[in-house]
Amino acid sequence: MEKPIKPKGAAIQSWTASYKAAHEAKLLSQTISVLNQQQAELLKRLAVAQAQEQAENARKAAEAEAKRALEERARLAAQAQRLAAEKAAALAKAQAEAKRVAAEAARMAADAEAKHAAEERARLAAEAQRLAAAEKAAAQAKARARAKAKAKTKTRARRVAAQKARIAAEAQRTAQEQALRNVLASRAFPMLGAAAATGPVFTLVGSSLVISSEATLAIQAALRAAVAMAVESLTAVAAPTLAGVAALLYSPKLANGELPERYAFSTPLSELAPTQHSDFQAIAAAGGTVDLPVRLTSQATADGQSEILVVNTDGVTHPSKIRVLPVTYNAQQNLYTATTEDTPPRTLTWTPVVQPGNSSTALPAEPPTPPAYTGASVTPAVGRIDPFPEITQNSFDDYVFVFPIDSGLPPLYVMFRDRRKDPGIALGTGTPISGVWTDAASKGEGAPIPSQIADQLRGKKFRRFRKFREALWKAVAGDPILSQHFDQYNLRRMERGLAAIVNKTERIGRRYTYELHHIKYISHGGEVYNFDNINLMTPKRHIETHRARK
């Protein structure tokens, strides 16, 4: 059975809602229709407005285009007018510029012409001045050339004259030197055989020194005492020593400012060493040597004397070996003669004590007596002994001379005065030096003499070797390169002609300075004043060198 419908029941509420929805839908539909109509109306109005706007825009565009066209025509007209004005102005300006340029060209042409004329006048004036100056300069140049040629001729003449004078002087010096050498080579040292066989004899080139019998005996006694002291000293201290024998003094009035000639001192060999156990004939024939416990040498004293000294030999610093030379008889001269082997050689002569081949003691009928020399005196030396003498191999110049068995003359010991006391001329070229010169003095063959020192001293004459040595050290002290390697103390010594001092390790006894070593011994003919025969050595190296050559 159907349920009854209630005013507020669900059915009514459902119908009410449905009806309300339908009503609202109808209202909504009507509203939409109205809105659609309004939209259409609005669209129409919008289309009209848009058409009106487009028409207005077209009108405005037409008006703007018309205005622009008018303005463009006006602009073009103005531009044409401006261009016409500018063209007219440019034409006027061009005409004015052309007129100005023409005027300027005319002015410049006038100026150029005037300038050219002025320059031409100036050029002509300058050319005239140049020609005048050239002529003057040419004249002056000719005058200078003539003066220069004249001066050159005079200079050349002076140079030629100086060269000729130098050559002449050199030739004269060479001739004098050669003459001196020839004299030394040709002239003999003469001795009386009887005097030489019994005691000491002094002889010079060409003459014998006159000595009284008392002086001869005194010198013989001094010699024996000196030999005894030297031998005894060597036994006691085993060191080189020297003892004085005699002093020879030349007369000043005979010397004439020059050193005296070389002399020789002779004594029987038995005064120095025993002779009975040696075969001197065989030794002399073989050109051999003999060992002696002592040797003789000479040295100059401060007062100008030449002192003869006895030096004991140790076989090292003072060699004991002495050359033995044979003596031959010259029948034509009735003399015994012997010649040394050095350069220049020296000849000695002795008068016979017996006629060769004759066992009698009768002298030849006319014995050639040597000329007597009285220009010197000999004084026996007071006995003294000096340890560590500064005597080297070069200080000895001695021989033993052996006579034929039938001569009646014993072996003689002859000592020549030290050749370093002779005058001489510096020779040689020396050696270029790099580094410290004295470094080599303690090794090998020593340090050679620097070439710049040889160049400075070459050709100079020296009275004795000591003067040569002093000049060498002064030259080294004055050399800007060599002097850098010496301290101030040594430089002050060298400036006074004294040798520089060596390091302590290179000193021997009182020998503490650098020494000059002759490569070829002077006693063997080595040149005394030749730089190429001289090396610098320390005392220690000097002794070692002589020991090696012993």
Residues 293 and 216 in one domain: yes
In a domain, 296, yes or no: yes
CA 519 to chain centre: 23
Same domain, 385 and 444: no
How many CB atoms neighbour CB 415 within 10 A?
22
Judgement on whether residues 418 and 435 belong to the same structural domain of the protein: no
Whether residue 311 contacts residue 242, with contact meaning beta carbons closer than 8 Å, is answered with: yes
Supply the pLDDT for residue 309: 82
CA-to-CA separations, 98 to 21, 84, 88, 109, 282, in angstroms, rounded = 106, 21, 15, 16, 135
Joined tokens for residue 188: 């003999």
* HEC assignment per residue over 286-331: CCCEEECCEEEEEEECCCCCEEEEEEECCCCCCCCEEEEEECEEEC
Q: Residues 221, 248: one domain?
A: yes
H or E element in which residue 203 lies: strand 201-204
Number of domains making up the chain: 2
So what's the pLDDT on residue 402? 96
The pTM of the full predicted model, rounded to 2 decimals, is 0.54
Domain-located, residue 96: no
Residue-level pLDDT at 210: 80
- What's the rounded Cα separation, in Å, for the pair 503 and 482? 18
Q: Minimal CA–CA distance to 368: which of 416, 406, 330, 401?
A: 330
Give a yes or no: residue 174 inside a domain.
no
pLDDT at 259 (0 to 100) = 43
Same domain, 432 and 414: no
Q: Report the distance separating Cα 452 and Cα 343, nearest Å.
A: 28
Among 405, 422, 439, give the residue marking a domain's end: 422
390 and 248, same structural domain?
yes
In a domain, 84, yes or no: no
Of 385, 406, 422, which one is at a domain's C-terminal end?
Answer: 422
Q: Tell whether 83 is covered by a domain.
A: no
Query: Domain check: are 229 and 338 in the same one?
Result: yes
Which CATH number is 441's domain given? 3.90.540.10
Domain boundary among 404, 422, 440: 422
Per the CB < 8 A criterion, the answer to whether 542 and 515 are in contact is yes
316, with CB counted inside 10 A (0-12, 13-18, 19+), is middle
Q: Identify the domain containing residue 533 by its residue range.
A: 425-548
Whether residues 352 and 408 share a domain: the answer is: yes
Q: Are residues 410 and 431 in the same domain?
A: no
Verify that 257 and 298 share a domain, yes or no.
yes
pLDDT value at residue 252: 41
Task: Let me know if residue 417 belongs to a domain.
Answer: yes
Query: Can you give the pLDDT of all 550 residues of the chain as single tens digits?
Result: 566 667 777 878 888 888 888 888 888 888 898 888 888 888 888 888 888 888 888 888 888 888 888 888 888 888 888 888 888 888 888 888 888 888 888 888 888 888 888 888 888 888 888 888 888 888 888 888 888 888 888 888 888 888 888 788 777 766 655 554 454 445 589 999 999 999 999 888 888 888 888 888 888 888 888 888 877 765 544 455 556 655 655 544 344 434 455 788 999 999 998 876 678 999 999 989 999 988 888 877 666 677 788 888 877 667 888 999 999 999 888 999 999 877 667 899 999 998 776 555 555 545 567 777 777 777 777 655 555 455 554 568 899 999 999 999 999 999 988 777 778 899 999 999 999 999 999 999 999 999 999 999 999 999 888 899 999 999 999 999 999 999 999 999 999 999 999 999 999 888 899 999 999 887 677 889 999 999 999 999 988 887 776 5
The answer as to whether 517 is a domain residue is yes
Task: Let me know whether 216 and 343 are in one domain.
Answer: yes
Same domain, 377 and 296: yes
Residue 325 lies in a domain: yes
